[in-house]
Amino acid sequence: MNHYERSALNFFAASPLDRMTLKRRDAAWLAEQLTAATTRFVPVWQTKNLFDAQDMSRALLLAPGADHLWLAAAEPILLGVHEGITYFGVDVAEGADHLASLQTLGKFEDLRLVGTRLDAKTGGLLALARAMTYWHQRHRFCGDCGSPTQSADGGFVRRCTNPACGKQHFPRTDPAIIVQVSAGDKCLLARQAVWPPGRYSVLAGFVEPGESVEDAVIREVLEETNIRVTNIHYYASQPWPFPASLMLGYTAEATNVDLHYTDDELEHARWISRRELKEALQAETIKLPPPLSISHRLIESWFDTGECGRLRDWL
Amino acid sequence: MNHYERSALNFFAASPLDRMTLKRRDAAWLAEQLTAATTRFVPVWQTKNLFDAQDMSRALLLAPGADHLWLAAAEPILLGVHEGITYFGVDVAEGADHLASLQTLGKFEDLRLVGTRLDAKTGGLLALARAMTYWHQRHRFCGDCGSPTQSADGGFVRRCTNPACGKQHFPRTDPAIIVQVSAGDKCLLARQAVWPPGRYSVLAGFVEPGESVEDAVIREVLEETNIRVTNIHYYASQPWPFPASLMLGYTAEATNVDLHYTDDELEHARWISRRELKEALQAETIKLPPPLSISHRLIESWFDTGECGRLRDWL
């Protein structure tokens, strides 16, 4: 399997949406789309997406028109076009008049909790809306001079309104590594104190300025568990807009097995064999991250190469 | 070769520096390091590093002490420790008294122009100093509320000084794809109008929110040249702090060959065989990006698998 095919299996990836990047600066085209009957808006409030409260697998999209005159005024973000429908993301301001009516219409919920109930296309669309509205919220002022910024280029730029500055700011995505570390037939799993009880996962952390992704893999594993890794291979990637990460998945092999949590990030770390993991999952003493995450896929990919069958056949 | 080994060949990667991430919040340790005789400061002015004007392979580092009392006051950034020496990055403010004396001491120059003349350790150190000072410059104000921010945690956080906000901001790194596209025995090379005459390279572009890296590979190649790619494989990564990128290198195969520049980014794009490239390089009608870049390595890696020998043996 090539790396595109592997990444495409990850939720939120391989969206069929055409981002129409070349139309972002076409003001006339954008204005036309904002009021077209076929256009749909993806509302986000406090980083949550809007769903049908009776059927959370149904995302609620809004049509332009008399009911939603606020939409075109709310710095809408061009998400893209798919099958003749133009999609915009829109942030529902705190305290806005229309917030209450939207809350009657449906339920705002964290995309991670709904994720796999959605079809993949909708998942990608909602993830993009969430990521972009979060970025706008956090860049309302210019980091260079402190003046207000305003949305431009279909929402893919924020421009400083101070004519003496005028700096452009672009959407931010934070690359992060996530790595499945093996030692013989065992896999390294760990948990953070803030996670739900029993939840274990593979290690992850942000790539820092001035390091390659593979440098970050080595540094993170060493910092968090005192394990040195080798034989590092890229696995796949996944957009993870919670709030703004890009997960870069790897596999690696440990050269030592003595775990130390030198970091206050981890509450516990352990080596576990496939058989031990299977038993712990069946006894519900260990829970894995949700299947929509690349962390789950990395664990599954390791598990499935062993003698305990395929994880998805019995989990 | 695993992906760590391949990325480690890229300049600026695989630095032996220990970033000492767990010491960033240790104020007493940091204060001690700032005045220790073995400590060295890496000055950056307008994103340029300081070199010995007579020997640009020698980076000039500053020692704490009477000559440089301004150093400890200038929001120094903990870069890390190597062989008993603690390194801090420091931004030389425009118009500062000490700027003129530093300009007498040596020459500030763009790291890309000096790059491979440095040993790899120094290259990584200077790249990190450059990346971090640039990030500080561009985040002096809080994007959430517009108030001034101040450096914290050894320079790896900027915190909003407005008590009602207090948001923390972390160093920013922009993931970007760079991809060597093949069609049969030919490689896709292109140039931007702003590049030096004759310079050609592989295609590159930023990963956007809500897409996997591989999604970005497909989108960028399609947008820029109308070529659809398949069989996408990750190659290696490279930190590229000019000003803040993380290059994610890929190879891919084209499924069509009809080039259209649908984007105003490209001045020209072409398919080229190894033999044609060799002739053009020898005639100097085509120039490649500098050997310190992953773009050069991707082209070299493609070239070397053919019948024209190894690029580095005659370039």
Share of chain B above pLDDT 70, in %: 100
B253 to chain A, closest Cα gap in Å = 11
Residues A107, A62 contacting (CB under 8 angstroms): no
Tens of pLDDT, residues A107-159: 999 999 998 899 989 999 999 999 999 999 999 999 999 999 999 999 999 99
CA-nearest residue of chain A to B128?
A210
Tokens of B138: 């561009």
Residues B202, B299 contacting (CB under 8 angstroms): yes
Task: Identify from A77, A165, A213, A297 which residue to disrupt to test chain B contact, counting B C-beta atoms within 10 A and taking the largest count.
Answer: A213
pLDDT confidence of A172, banded at 50, 70, 90? Answer: very high
B127:A210 CB<8 A: yes
Task: Identify from B213, B225, B242 which residue to disrupt to test chain A contact, counting A C-beta atoms within 10 A and taking the largest count.
Answer: B213
Chain A residues close to B262, C-beta within 8 Å: 22
Q: Which of A144, A212, A231 sits opposite B13 (nearest CB)?
A: A212
Q: Which of B143, B231, B263 sits opposite A2 (nearest CB)?
A: B231
Average pLDDT over every residue of B140-166:
98
B241 to chain A, closest Cα gap in Å = 7
Residues A294, A247 contacting (CB under 8 angstroms): yes
A285 to chain B, closest Cα gap in Å = 31
Tens of pLDDT, residues B135-144: 999 999 999 9
**For residues B270 and B138, what is the distance between their CA atoms, to the nearest angstrom?**
37
The pLDDT assigned to B36 comes to 95
Q: Which of B172, B248, B250 sits opposite A172 (nearest CB)?
A: B172
How many beta-carbon contacts under 8 Å exist across A and B? Answer: 207
Tens of pLDDT, residues B227-280: 999 999 999 999 999 999 999 999 999 999 999 987 678 999 999 999 999 999
The pLDDT assigned to B315 comes to 83
Q: At what angle do helices A274-282 and A294-304 cross, to 10 degrees?
A: 120
CA-nearest residue of chain A to B214?
A4
Whether the predicted pLDDT of B72 surpasses 80: no
**For residues B208 and B174, what is the distance between their CA atoms, to the nearest angstrom?**
9
pLDDT confidence of B155, banded at 50, 70, 90? Answer: very high
B212:A14 CB<8 A: yes
Q: Which of B142, B212, B219 sits opposite A141 (nearest CB)?
A: B142
What residues contact residue B67 under an 8 Å CB cut-off, 6+ apart? none
* Whole-complex ipTM: 0.96
The pLDDT assigned to A243 comes to 95
Residues A123, A58 contacting (CB under 8 angstroms): no
Task: Identify from B151, B212, B235, B242 which residue to disrupt to test chain A contact, counting A C-beta atoms within 10 A and taking the largest count.
Answer: B212
Count the Cβ atoms, other than its own, within 10 Å of residue A28: 8
| Range of weakest confidence among A59-73, A291-305, B6-20, B37-51 | A59-73
A233:B263 CB<8 A: no
Tens of pLDDT, residues B183-232: 999 999 999 999 999 999 999 999 999 999 999 999 999 999 999 999 99
B212:A13 CB<8 A: yes
What residues contact residue A203 under an 8 Å CB cut-off, 6+ apart? A178, A179, A181, A188, A190, A220, A221, A224, A225
Chain B residues close to A171, C-beta within 8 Å: 208-209
**For residues A261 and B206, what is the distance between their CA atoms, to the nearest angstrom?**
35
Cis peptide before B64 (omega within 30 of 0): no
Share of chain A above pLDDT 90, in %: 90
What residues contact residue A47 under an 8 Å CB cut-off, 6+ apart? A110, A130, A133, A134, A243
B284 to chain A, closest Cα gap in Å = 32
CA atoms within 13 A of residue B25's CA, in its CB half-sphere? 4
SS (H, E, C) chain B: CCHHHHHHCCCCCCCCCECCHHHCCCHHHHHHHHHCCCCEEEEEECCEEEEECCEEEEECCECCCHHHCCHHHCCCEEEEEECCEEEEEEECCCCCHHHHHHHHHCEEECHHHHHHHCCHHHHHHHHHHHHHHHHHHCCCECCCCCCEEEEEHHHCEEEECCCCCCCEECCCCEEEEEEEEEECCEEEEEECCCCCCCECECEEEECCCCCCHHHHHHHHHHHHHCCCEEEEEEEEEEEECCCCEEEEEEEEEECCCCCCCCCCCCCEEEEEEHHHHHHHHHCCCCECCCCCCHHHHHHHHHHHCCCCCCHHHHC
**For residues B147 and B133, what is the distance between their CA atoms, to the nearest angstrom?**
19
The pLDDT assigned to B28 comes to 97
Whether the predicted pLDDT of A73 surpasses 90: no
Q: Which of B13, B22, B172 sits opposite A262 (nearest CB)?
A: B22
Residues A122, A115 contacting (CB under 8 angstroms): no
Count the Cβ atoms, other than its own, within 10 Å of residue B119: 11
A19:B207 CB<8 A: no
The pLDDT assigned to A263 comes to 60
CA-nearest residue of chain B to A128?
B210
Q: Which of A3, A173, A206 sits opposite B207 (nearest CB)?
A: A173
Give, rounded to a whole angstrom, the gap between the first and last alpha carbons of chain A: 24
**For residues B3 and A233, what is the distance between their CA atoms, to the nearest angstrom?**
5
Residues A81, A40 contacting (CB under 8 angstroms): no
The pLDDT assigned to B263 comes to 61
Tens of pLDDT, residues B205-217: 999 999 999 999 9
Q: What is the mean pLDDT of chain B?
A: 95
Confidence (pTM)? 0.97
Average pLDDT over every residue of A181-192:
97
B22:A223 CB<8 A: yes
Whether the predicted pLDDT of B96 surpasses 80: no
CA-nearest residue of chain A to B145?
A141
Tens of pLDDT, residues A99-114: 988 999 999 999 999 9
Chain B residues close to A42, C-beta within 8 Å: none
Phi/psi at A281 (5° precision): -70, -40
Q: Which of B2, B169, B210 sits opposite A232 (nearest CB)?
A: B2
Count the Cβ atoms, other than its own, within 10 Å of residue B267: 12
Chain A residues close to B250, C-beta within 8 Å: 3
Tokens of B292: 């310190």
Average pLDDT over every residue of A167-177:
98
